[in-house]
Amino acid sequence: MKKRKMPLRKCVGCGEQKPKRELIRIVRSPEGEVSLDRTGKAPGRGAYICDQEACLLRAIKTNAIQRALQVELSQEQVKILLERLSNES
Ligand SMILES: [Zn+2]
């Protein structure tokens, strides 16, 4: 079987390059809503993180998500993202 080359994306939390499908896309919709996009197809500006709470927390703490998505994250939004990550994985 021929292996297709996986596109690599960088996790905004730990900075590691990983195959796109191992990462979760965080997307900012055109309306400015930030959510987790597990399909990778949602419209808007996206950033990638590992499927791990540690990476999400780190990315929030270092403002990497905010920088990548050019958005401010409220405490409420951070909470929602963390909840979605732990519920859906
Ligand atoms: Zn990571």
Residue 3 lies in a domain: no
Residue 2 lies in a domain: no
Q: How far is the CA of 42 from the centre of ligand 1 (A)?
A: 21
Q: What sign does the dihedral 24-30-34-35 (CA atoms) show?
A: negative
Q: Residue 8 contacts by C-beta under 8 Å, 6 or more apart in sequence?
A: 17, 18, 19, 20
Could you tell me the CATH number of the domain that includes residue 63?
A: 3.30.1230.10
Q: How far is the CA of 43 from the centre of ligand 1 (A)?
A: 22
* Token representation of residue 80: 């929602």
When divided into structural domains, the chain yields a total of 1
The model's pLDDT over 25-83, given as tens digits with 9 standing for 90+, comes to 999 999 888 999 988 889 999 999 999 999 999 999 999 999 999 999 999 999 999 99
Give 5's pLDDT tier (boundaries 50, 70, 90).
confident
Q: How far is the CA of 31 from the centre of ligand 1 (A)?
A: 27
The model's pLDDT over 35-44, given as tens digits with 9 standing for 90+, comes to 999 888 899 9
Enclosing domain of residue 45: 9-88
Backbone angles phi, psi at 54, to 5 degrees: -60, -40
Residue 1 lies in a domain: no
